[in-house]
């Protein structure tokens, strides 16, 4: 989920019950241009792109044991170089082999790897040999179920700790139903944990897909974006409450305003319309201060910033 799986949403997902959270896919070409910096002002570890000074990945000790760094790559050496920058600050590395977007496929990454088993083997074995943390990957269904099972078996032989399977093929659209039965065939063929993904929008769906597929775990993407309290066993909370909690997390961790706006727009589009006053106001917002005023969190915004100034001034 580009621009969306950033620190505030990951921490909020964990608050609501997610055991593991994934960062947005970050392309290796971009990440190897970053340097690691400890941000004492925020209490975070930032990976900052040299030259532009933009934060490409931000994490914190609170999520150290559950955050998965998701990488987009088409080359084993480049993937390893990127992973070696961040592996001590995360719980696992995941190679995205399921993204169907043109920017990913055109670079030989994401779903383009599904037809390159040798490259997949090279990337995964290289990461496994050189890192002391779990390595996983995510795929989509291939043209036929036997093809998917065959690829999954080859991936298992690389020694990965788990395999996530999205129950759609590359040409499928989000409105096309996910094929849970084909995920079940992969589960039956492997001995490593399989993570099922596709058409999970509430806690009951989490239970249903586990029962239908036999998967060890469940990955939630769009459902979590629309209402991240989907992970709560007590049921989803009101959308308005969740949205405000996300805004507060974005303020607390000084999230990039473009990322915050993008996530809010996705939330709004599912429940409402960007042409209504709220959507227009989010689009016009130029800073987290603007966002805080829009959602009635200006006092919290001021409190956070005053507290940081005091804390950092006393160091």
> What is this structure's pTM?
0.94
Architecture (CATH level 2) of domain 7-227? Alpha-Beta Barrel (3.20)
- Return the pLDDT at 269: 87
Give the active site residue among 60, 99, 137, 273.
Answer: 99
Q: If pLDDT is split at 50, 70 and 90, which confidence band does 14 have?
A: very high
Q: Percentage of residues in the chain with pLDDT exceeding 70?
A: 97
Q: Is 300 exposed, middle or buried (0-12, 13-18, 19+ CB in 10 A)?
A: middle
At 195 the pLDDT is 98
pLDDT per residue as tens digits for the range 102-126: 888 888 999 999 999 999 999 999 9
Give how far the C-alpha of residue 164 lies from the chain's centroid of Cα atoms, to the nearest Å.
13
| Number of DSSP helices (H) and strands (E) in the chain, helices first | 14, 11
Q: Residue 265: in which H helix or E strand, if any?
A: helix 257-271
Q: What is the mean pLDDT of the chain?
A: 94
Q: Which of 177, 93, 193, 109 is nearest to 141 (CA)?
A: 177
Q: Is the pLDDT of residue 132 over 90?
A: yes
pLDDT on residue 192: 98
Task: Tell me: pLDDT of 314 over 80.
Answer: no
Confidence of residue 51 (pLDDT cuts 50, 70, 90): confident
Least confident of 56-70, 144-158, 223-237: 223-237
Catalytic site includes residue 99: yes
- pLDDT at residue 3, as a whole number: 65
Task: Return the closest-CA partner of residue 285 out of 258, 304, 267.
Answer: 258
In this model, does residue 303 exceed pLDDT 90?
yes
**Binding residue numbers for FMN:** 70, 138, 166, 221-222
Provide the pLDDT for residue 313: 60
- pLDDT band with cut points at 50, 70 and 90 for residue 255: very high
The domain segmentation of the chain, as residue ranges, is 7-227, 239-313
The 10s digit of each residue's pLDDT in 72-112 is 999 999 999 999 999 999 999 999 999 888 888 888 999 99
């Amino acid at each position: 989920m580009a621009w969306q799986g950033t620190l505030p949403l990951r921490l909020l997902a964990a608050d609501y019950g997610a055991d593991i959270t994934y960062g947005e896919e970050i392309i290796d070409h971009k990440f190897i241009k970053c340097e690691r910096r400890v941000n004492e002002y925020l209490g975070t570890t930032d990976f900052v792109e040299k030259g532009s000074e933009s934060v490409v990945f931000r994490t914190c000790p609170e999520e150290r044991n559950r955050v998965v760094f998701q990488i987009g790559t088409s080359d084993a050496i480049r993937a390893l170089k990127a992973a070696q920058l961040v592996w001590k600050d995360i719980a696992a590395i995941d190679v995205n082999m399921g993204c169907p977007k043109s920017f990913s496929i055109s670079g030989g990454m994401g779903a383009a790897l599904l037809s390159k088993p040798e490259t997949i083997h090279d990337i995964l074995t290289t990461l496994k040999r050189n890192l002391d943390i779990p390595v996983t990957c995510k795929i989509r269904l291939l043209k036929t179920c036997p093809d998917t099972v065959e690829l999954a078996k080859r991936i298992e032989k690389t020694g990965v700790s788990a395999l996530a399977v999205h129950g759609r093929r590359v040409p499928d659209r989000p409105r096309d139903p996910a094929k849970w039965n084909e995920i079940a065939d992969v589960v039956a063929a492997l001995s490593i944990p399989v993570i099922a993904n596709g058409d999970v929008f509430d806690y009951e769906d989490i239970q249903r897909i586990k029962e239908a597929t036999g998967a060890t775990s469940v990955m939630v993407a769009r459902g979590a974006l629309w209402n991240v309290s989907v992970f709560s066993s007590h049921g989803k909370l009101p959308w308005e409450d969740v949205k405000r909690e996300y805004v507060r997390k974005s303020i607390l961790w000084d999230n990039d305003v473009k990322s915050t706006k993008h996530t809010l727009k996705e939330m709004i589009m599912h429940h409402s319309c960007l042409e209504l006053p709220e959507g227009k106001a989010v689009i016009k917002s130029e800073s987290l201060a603007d966002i805080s005023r829009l959602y009635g969190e200006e006092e919290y915004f001021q409190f956070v910033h005053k507290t940081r100034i005091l804390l950092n001034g006393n160091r």
